[in-house]
Structure 1
Amino acid sequence: MPGCVLAHIVTRSSIILRSSYILILHPPRPAPPPISFSSAMASDGFLSFVSALFGWIYFLAWSISFYPQGLLNWSRRSTSGTTVDFHFINILGFFAYFVSNAAFYYSSEVRAQYATRNHGLEPTVKFNDITFALHGIVLSLIISSQYLLYPLWGFNVSPNNRPSRFILGVAAGCITGVVFTYVIVASSGGNDPLVDWVELDIVYAIGYVKLIITLIKYMPQMILNYNNKSTEGWSIVQILLDLTGGILSVSQQGIDSYLQHDWSGITGNPAKFALGQISMIYNAIFITQHYVLYRNATPRRNPENDALLADEERRID
């Protein structure tokens, strides 16, 4: 009916019918409580602490992992059952890792180029990454000398004391790749990191050297264990420590990327992320060889190696 007003309260709402339209009036709702950032800040602070803790633990685990093999060689006065390839190529690998991490950590130009390509974020490289790489160079040199200069250590002559052609070829290929990248950057003359070849690309190329070496450095020892049907001479302790370091390294990078609310910490530094992943896969293989496949196995004698050892002994005499 025109001009009439009907009011009715339904579930705390007022419905008013006036002429040909309906007006629904809701009572005012209470204001939401103010958002507190204290818990979020506390959570971020805790995760930052965990990230730093993981960084130093994996630094210690990976650093200590160099010692068991060298100490085992010393106690046996022999490097039999192992190959120099792993330690020899590690020298180049850790040198590349040291250079790339130092560039990400210290070079303002490289850091600025990285930020341009990764939404203004900074590299997730830590100082312990640099010290770990430097430590790896020194220890790899020392352990390699146990193979290459075994008479100075008083070791018995053993097979596999010289780098294989495969490993030497990998080393030469990696160095060539870095030089080629440097030539491209030097000749391009560009300054825009988004479209041009810049110094950051050289750092990436050096970082990929470590990645490539990590991908192949375990293969000679894994194959040697398979041929010998034994892991005698190969320290499983270093593998367990390496596995611990790999898990914590990947975890740290994931935490750092979460705190930055961006996964560029991983995609922007793929070498560090892939290192942990690849190492864990190989570690699982070595653990299976040691504890399952060749547990308590006696190493096979290789007549060809015996002949080579006899020739080496005659040259020494």
Structure 2
Amino acid sequence: MAVFGFLESLSATFGWLYFIAWSLSFYGQPSLNFGRRSTSGTTVDFPLINTLGFSAYFVSNVAFFYSPLIRAQYAHRNKGLTPTVQFNDITFAAHGLLLSVVTSSQYFFPRAWGFAPSAGSRPSRFILGISAGCVTGVAVILLAVAGAPDRDSTHDTPASAWLWLDVVYAVSYVKLVVTVIKYSPQVLVNYRNRSTKGWSISQILLDFVGGVLSLAQLAIDSYLQGDWSGVTGNPVKFALGNVSMFYDLIFMTQHYVLYRGADARGGETEALLRGPRDDEERRID
């Protein structure tokens, strides 16, 4: 009993620690933009796709944590167990959504922030396409479930039946898609420039720490339940930590090994000197 009590406390501690680590990583870009009174050298793509991702993550976490129907359907599919989503997951998602909206507003409404207009305030076709695809995918699943006869069932339902739980899963997968694609442009930019100039390594280190703690919490919760369906039943949380850590390792390798001689702090100065044409050339359309 003492061991289980310790693990429960450790899980809660890890949850809030990863919330703090991941949350702190959100402040770098908006603070830098505000300090420079400009968004030049960057684009709205990253905060915009993050807004979509955290909106989906917030909605799915709230459903898993608060909805009796969703929790009952989850339990039916996962041997009577409850979702491993915790309150700190909801808090983290809400905080990430808020900061993403704030950062996006700096690009869409520069004059309200006292910024000079920047070429990077127009989303790329790539990001708009991904966003449209995610929304369309969720809409298709929603329509399929709405027309299913057993959508409200919580027992004696075939595994292949469409339930409202599947809509929540579809929404949660939007966050996974966003996480998979949102870092790749910066990896490519670093590769082309043979440098990590302008890219904050501190946010990567915080993100990596958060990923480790998130996976540790998920593992502890599954162990306490005596069943690893806590992982398979919450694939997005499991995948988020792994995907983020994969990209973090790439960025750390670029910064500390491949391009170690480059001055990573020089990117912010160069961003101020680049003109609109340079920003347009860096867009991913």
Q: TM-score, normalised by structure 2?
A: 0.87
Q: Aligned pair 1:136/2:136, yes or no?
A: no
CA distance in 1, matches of 2:108, 2:80: 47
Q: How many residues align?
A: 269
Residues 1:83 and 1:283: Cα distance change in structure 2 (over 3 Å): farther
Maintained 8 Å contact 2:55/2:93:
yes
Q: 1:292 aligns with which of 244, 254, 257?
A: 257
Q: Percent identity?
A: 60
Q: Aligned pair 1:245/2:245, yes or no?
A: no
How far does residue 200 in structure 1 lie from its aligned partner after superposition?
Answer: 0.3
Query: In the alignment, which residue of structure 2 is the partner of 1:278?
Result: 243
* Greater length-normalized contact order (CA 8 Å, ≥ 6 residues apart): 2
CA distance in 1, matches of 2:2, 2:206: 31
Q: Secondary structure at the match of 2:53?
A: helix
Unaligned regions of 5+ residues in structure 2, if any?
281-285
Query: In the alignment, which residue of structure 2 is the partner of 1:266?
Result: 231
CA RMSD of aligned residues (A): 2.3
Query: In the alignment, which residue of structure 1 is the partner of 2:283?
Result: none
CA distance in 2, matches of 1:158, 1:51: 44
CA distance in 1, matches of 2:40, 2:193: 11
CA distance in 2, matches of 1:154, 1:219: 30
For 1:93-124, what per-residue CA distance to the aligned partner results, in whole angstroms no more than 9, with x for missing partners? 00000010000000000000000000000000
- Rg comparison, structure with higher value: 1
**AA in 1 matched with 2:258:** L
Q: Aligned pair 1:171/2:136, yes or no?
A: no
Greater helix share, structure number = 2
Q: Aligned pair 1:53/2:46, yes or no?
A: no
CA distance in 1, matches of 2:278, 2:201: 26
CA distance in 2, matches of 1:237, 1:213: 21
How far does residue 149 in structure 1 lie from its aligned partner after superposition?
Answer: 2.4
Query: In the alignment, which residue of structure 1 is the partner of 2:183?
Result: 218
Q: 2:70 aligns with which of 110, 124, 127?
A: 110
Q: 1:78 aligns with which of 31, 38, 54?
A: 38
Runs of 4+ aligned residues of structure 1 deviating over 6 Å after TM superposition are none
Greater strand share, structure number = 1
How far does residue 230 in structure 1 lie from its aligned partner after superposition?
Answer: 3.3
Query: In the alignment, which residue of structure 1 is the partner of 2:173?
Result: 208
Maintained 8 Å contact 1:72/1:233:
no
Residues 1:256 and 1:245: Cα distance change in structure 2 (over 3 Å): same
**AA in 2 matched with 1:308:** R
CA distance in 2, matches of 1:265, 1:119: 10
